[in-house]
Amino acid sequence: MKRNKPTEFAKYLHSFLVQYLVNEKNVSHNTVKSYATAFKLLLDFLYEEMGMNPDRIEFDDINSEVIIEYLEWMEKTRNISISTRNQRLAAIKSFYKYVSKKSPSMIYTCSSIIGLDAKKGSNRMIPYLDMDQITILIEYLKEYRSMKELLLFSVLYETGARVSELISIHVSDLRLDKEHSIIVLHGKGNKVRRLPISKDLSTLITCYLKGDDYVDWDGLGYLFYSQQHAPYTRFAINYMINSWKKGVNEIYPNVLPEHIHPHMIRHSKATHLLDEGVDLYEIKMFLGHASIETTQIYATPDLGKIKEDIEKAAANIQVNNKYDELKTGEL
């Protein structure tokens, strides 16, 4: 049976995902995977909701109204967050920008989709662990867990690393010196961050590498290996952190929140830096954010902290005794 020729939409999409993102933009494997997922779901939507055969889709079949319906469909059927919705939209807009640059004649077709706005979410507080919780977690790891797990958490917290950055650290990414130690993180879009680390963390890393906890199982020199003698996965790190939470809460009931994940450690570090007066731009560079707007979420006021500060200030106010003599009606 004769196979249908790929449509122009299919040709551009293949070129975008397989060639442009990888060879020209040099983005990470995870970014390519995320973009591909956005389009897989779009094709699912077009087939399930509009009866369009994925092999037959052309540019004229998709306009801004279709994309909006697709985004709303994902929110309803997949219960995705606003953040995920906006990530999917960003992937689609990036594709249409690519198409308009490759073929200027397509600019009119692409412009309405490129012009779509991201959905605004509520200014909710990002969950994080306070310093007391961090301290308790460290003490628990020192007492009940291995040096490797203590180091893993210490690196995660001190560097504010993403979990993908953590599990990709190689021993060759470390520059251990008595005075100025550095760790190199490979972030989104293959961007590299060189972060100074404390003497305590440098010492812990040195002890770990010299001790029985460390074995370079596959000869690739990763800093952390699982019990299966392979580099950790995201799932494994998430599972480990939740096992810590359970262990801590068995000793100190309800000290740690019910839902805890690796990114919460990153949020915690960013929040603590802000509390210590570190400039927002410096935090942006530290975290490897592409935009200051992303970092701005950490500047959302913590109502609990504000209430605590108000109560502390109120405790220092000495009310003049003459007010005690006033009648209620005079106040």
Q: Which residues are catalytic?
A: 162, 188, 263, 266, 289, 298
From CA 108, how far away is CA 106, in angstroms rounded? Answer: 6
Distances (CA, A) of 227 to 56, 147, 217, 246: 48, 14, 10, 20
* Alpha-carbon gap, residue 40 to 269, rounded angstroms: 35
DSSP letters spanning 287-331: HT-S-HHHHGGGGS--HHHHHHHHHHHHHT----GGGGGS-GGG-
Rounded CA-CA distance 154/229 in Å is 21
CA distance 134 to 304: 18
Question: Residue 84 half-sphere exposure, CB side, CA atoms within 13 Å?
Answer: 14
- Crossing angle of helices 262-275 and 280-287, in 10° steps, is 150
